[in-house]
Structure 1
Amino acid sequence: MTHPHRAAKFTTAYALLRAAADVADHWVQSDYCAQAKGATNDSPVTTTDEKTGEERKNGTTEGRRACAWHCVTYTATQGLVLMVGSRAVGVRLHPGAVAGALALSGITHYIADRRVPNGVLQRLAKGLGKERFFKLADHGMNGAYALDQAWHHGAETLAALIAAAK
């Protein structure tokens, strides 16, 4: 039989990690990281500094750094939300388990976001017969929608934390 405290820990950790992920991916991630994180020497990405207007060609080194930095801020956001949120609802999480969860989250996020040509996700999609869907860039899928959804997830999580505090 599953201990009821495990169910509370799971649901709390899942809700907080999920909401933090959307916020981190769409609000915390810098514009530079979003653009450059998939850059390689074979498929460079040109970015423009918003302040200076200076253009910069980004290759493999810059792509890896941008993706790594994004994953650091992503994982830090999840850690902060998990720590504050779990305390707010009175759920104690073991620090070692939290560290393991955040390590897994950060590493798998890097693997997915590096998205070099024929990256892990694209190869997996192709292997599962989903390559056409993987390449779909239409039907209203855009950053504005993602930011809207991230905002809602963040607000709903804060509301749930406040509601659960008493």
Structure 2
Amino acid sequence: MGGLYAALHAGHMVGDYWAQTDRCAQAKGKPGKDGRRACATHVATLTATQAAFISLAAAATGERLPARRVAAGLAVNAISHYAIDRRDHGVMPHLCRALRRYGKEDFARLGAPGLASGAAYLDQAWHIAWCAISAAIIAGKG
């Protein structure tokens, strides 16, 4: 499972920063159809990047991965990525409000707007957690 997690994490980092276009990065959190489309495009590119990393890792190790499990793990990861990347129109504000007593609303606003904001760190923590969950789905038995 460690190798799967490493491949998903590496694919996430490349997909989230190198493969994502500036247009998608700027628009994915906007309201309406344009924001939804930009976020879906970003998630499709990210998922393709993660799939490539999983394929390369499996080829390098000779591990045979069940296609259904890979598809399920990547689908879970994609849905979770879209949900948080919609920013104010996704789950982030709801989670921060629910965790208000722990200071998450204030933390999310630190350094905003910007790449080194509290919201950006919460976003990345969410993504990495879901990479681990997705790796467990792919590595599971059955």
TM over 0.5: yes
User: CA shift at 1:62, angstroms?
Assistant: 0.8
Structure with the larger strand share: 1
**1:80 partnered with 2:71:** no
Q: Does 1:141 align with 2:112?
A: no
Q: Give the structure with the higher percent helix.
A: 2
* Equivalent AA in structure 2 for residue 87 of structure 1: A
| Correspondence 1:104-123 to 2 at 5 A | 104-117=76-89, 119-123=90-94
Distance 1:71-1:140 versus aligned 2 partners, 3 A rule:
closer
Partners of 1:111 and 1:77 lie apart in 2 by 18
Q: How many residues align?
A: 114
Radius of gyration: which is bigger? 1
| Partner AA of 1:23 in structure 2 | V
2:76, 2:115 → 1: CA distance?
31
Kindly provide the amino acid, as one letter, of the partner of residue 93 in structure 2.
Q
Normalization by structure 1: what TM-score? 0.64
* 1:12 match: 3
TM-score, with length taken from structure 2: 0.74
What is the root-mean-square deviation of aligned Cα atoms in Å? 2.0
Q: Hey, what's the Cα distance between the residues in 2 that align with 1:17 and 1:93? A: 14
SS in 2 for 1:39: coil
Structure 1 stretches of 4+ moved >3 Å: none
Identical amino acids, percent of aligned pairs? 43
Unaligned runs of 5+ in 1: 1-9, 41-59, 147-166
Per-residue deviation, residues 53-111 of structure 1 (Å, max 9, x unmatched): xxxxxxx1111110000000000000011011121122221111000001001111011
Q: CA deviation at 1:116?
A: 2.8
Q: Determine the structure 1 residue equivalent to 2:138.
A: none
